[in-house]
Homo-oligomer: A and B are copies of this chain.
Amino acid sequence: MLTLAQAQTIMTTALAHAQSAGFKPLTIAILDARGAQKLFTAQDGTSLKRGEIAIGKAHGAVAMGIGSRALHKMALERPYFVEAATHAVGGSLVPVPGGVLIRDAAGTLLGAIGVSGDTSDNDEAAALAGITAAGLVGDTGA
């Protein structure tokens, strides 16, 4: 199970990465392996439902067991499947990069982080910076 201490390290580092890289305001959601929210931050200036996009990246990854970059590829190749999966999992699945699975060194799934606010590639980079800082392994689906 992802601990709060691990999640805090991930969150703090992801935000620091974004700041030093000059990203736009981000929302970041960290879910545990149950899909339950562990930690969430919306920086000042984010739009009304930006948080739901971040949560959807993380939830889609945990729900399907793959990073959202792989869901992005599936959405391009088989849009009908990703649309159907979105409905089937309850509506929260955003198939663009920035939803990264969090695993421990042994490969056990601990949860996922979803980042939204800058480009998808930058969102994903912030996520990975956080995961690495916690000594964990990010799985983007690439």
Q: Classify chain A: how many residues form its interface, as a range.
A: 35 or more
Residues in chain A within 8 A of chain B (CB atoms): 1, 3-4, 32-44, 46-53, 55-56, 60, 62-66, 72, 75-76, 78-96
- Taken together, the copies of this chain in the complex come to 4
Question: Can you report 22 A-B residue pairs in the complex whose CB atoms are below 8 A from each other?
Answer: A3-B44, A36-B48, A36-B49, A39-B41, A39-B42, A40-B40, A49-B85, A50-B64, A52-B89, A56-B85, A75-B80, A75-B84, A79-B80, A80-B83, A80-B95, A84-B86, A84-B95, A86-B87, A87-B87, A88-B92, A88-B94, A90-B90
By secondary structure, the A interface counts as mixed
A36, A40, A49, A63 — most chain B CB neighbours (10 Å): A49
Asked if residues B64 and A49 are in contact (CB atoms below 8 Å), the reply is yes
